[in-house]
């Protein structure tokens, strides 16, 4: 799935972007950003492995929630000057694209159920 590929790429970029965060953040913001970003493709994969569209929608909604967590964490990292403007913009744009794709997929599945 294209949305999973985009989410996976975003996760890889988050991992690379957080490797130079301050060492005191290793169990804080670094860990949180990595977990929330990895949660997005993880929940997409789990949703695709489910037998019903309702279950798939549930896991896609969880992925969307994780994207909201990551959105705030990106803002925080940027405001703390851990992320420069360029990387922040690139990650934010990637996140917006993934969220739009998830939303469209959820709407399509909801239409299929109706």
Model-level pTM? 0.94
Local confidence pLDDT in tens for the 114 residues of the chain: 899 999 999 999 999 999 999 999 999 999 999 999 999 999 999 999 998 999 999 999 999 999 999 999 999 999 999 999 999 999 999 999 999 999 999 999 988 766
Q: Does domain 2-113 have CATH number 1.20.1250.20?
A: no
pLDDT of residue 112: 74
Query: Do the Cβ atoms of 107 and 12 come closer than 8 Å?
Result: no
pLDDT digits over 80-95, tens only? Answer: 999 999 999 999 999 9
Burial code (b: 16+ CB inside 10 Å, e: under 16) for 44-68 equals bebbeeeeeeeebbbbbebbbebbe
């Amino acid at each position: 799935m294209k949305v999973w590929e985009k989410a996976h790429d975003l996760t890889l970029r988050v991992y690379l972007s957080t490797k130079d965060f301050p060492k005191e953040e290793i169990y804080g913001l670094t860990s949180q950003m990595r977990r929330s970003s990895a949660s997005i493709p993880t929940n997409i994969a789990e949703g695709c492995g489910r037998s019903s569209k309702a279950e798939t929608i549930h896991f896609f909604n969880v992925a969307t929630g994780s994207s909201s967590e990551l959105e705030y964490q990106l803002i925080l990292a940027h405001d703390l000057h851990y992320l420069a403007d360029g990387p922040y913009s690139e990650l934010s744009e990637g996140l917006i694209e993934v969220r739009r794709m998830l939303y469209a997929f959820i709407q399509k599945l909801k239409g299929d159920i109706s």
